[in-house]
Amino acid sequence: MFPSTENEPSGTPLRSRLGVLTKHPTIAIDGPAASGKTTVGRLLARRLEFQFLDTGLMYRALAWTAIRKGLSLSDGAALRQLASDETFEFTVQEGSASSDERDPRFYTPEVDSGASQVAQWPEVRTALVKQQRDIASKGSIVMVGRDIGTIVAPNADLKVFLVASPETRARRRMLQVGDEGGYGRILADIKQRDQRDTQRSHSPLVAADDAHKLDTEGMDVEQVVDRIICMIGAA
């Protein structure tokens, strides 16, 4: 179906193919909750020897920190202040780049919901988008999120928008977190986050006009990454 990993060219020729386009290529991967962006993006970055940035982790870390400090998730100004804190920037960058393990603190139902609440505030988004662009300017990078292809990196060299039904995403997330009985709750949560992410007035989740929509139904992570690498070859 898709080329196997062994038959792929190694990371360097792929990197240089994108490098012909710009000095520091950016690959933008967007998609809804639990669409596999982070797993796919991290593996892709490793194969290309690019940096990796999970922007969702920034919103999650902000929500977690705000909850811990007792800040209201409705106080946009206080959240923006927190987002601009230097310690916060450093922690998130390190966590995103260095670890395959999901930090369990940032993946509780409370933080799932809190992250999508803090992400609604324009002042929070402005502060985090600025940090994301600064990080991207430093080198070749794979960035994953909701607004990478539209807002953060509208000139990205390749834009991919991952698509899968809410039911498929809920099944994958259920297996990932090992919560066999939790399908109904996880599905309801995904639908609620989809609604919040697509309907917020500031930077809603939407595919960029020039994004490649990739339906991942029935595909595993390796197959999705192989498919994106084929897109790079055609870029």
By CB under 6 A, name the binding residues for ligand DC: 33, 55-56, 59-60, 115-116, 119, 145-147, 193, 197
Nearer to ligand DC, 33 or 142 (CB): 33
Nearer to ligand DC, 14 or 200 (CB): 200
Q: How far is the CB of 59 from ligand DC (least distance, A)?
A: 3
Q: How far is the CB of 117 from ligand DC (least distance, A)?
A: 8
Tokens of 18: 């994108």
Residue 147 neighbours by CB under 8 Å, 6+ apart: 30, 125, 129, 203, 205
Nearer to ligand DC, 93 or 116 (CB): 116
Q: Is 53 helix (H, G, I), strand (E, B) or coil?
A: strand
Q: Is 36 helix (H, G, I), strand (E, B) or coil?
A: coil
CA dist., res. 127 & res. 179, Å (int): 35
Nearer to ligand DC, 14 or 88 (CB): 88
CA dist., res. 223 & res. 225, Å (int): 5
Nearer to ligand DC, 14 or 64 (CB): 64
Q: How far is the CB of 193 from ligand DC (least distance, A)?
A: 5
Angle at 124 between CA 64 and CA 193, to 5 degrees: 60
CA dist., res. 96 & res. 64, Å (int): 15
Q: How far is the CB of 115 from ligand DC (least distance, A)?
A: 4
Nearer to ligand DC, 192 or 223 (CB): 192
CB atoms within 10 A of CB 134: 11
Q: How far is the CB of 147 from ligand DC (least distance, A)?
A: 5
Q: How far is the CB of 119 from ligand DC (least distance, A)?
A: 3
CA dist., res. 51 & res. 64, Å (int): 24
Q: Is 142 helix (H, G, I), strand (E, B) or coil?
A: strand
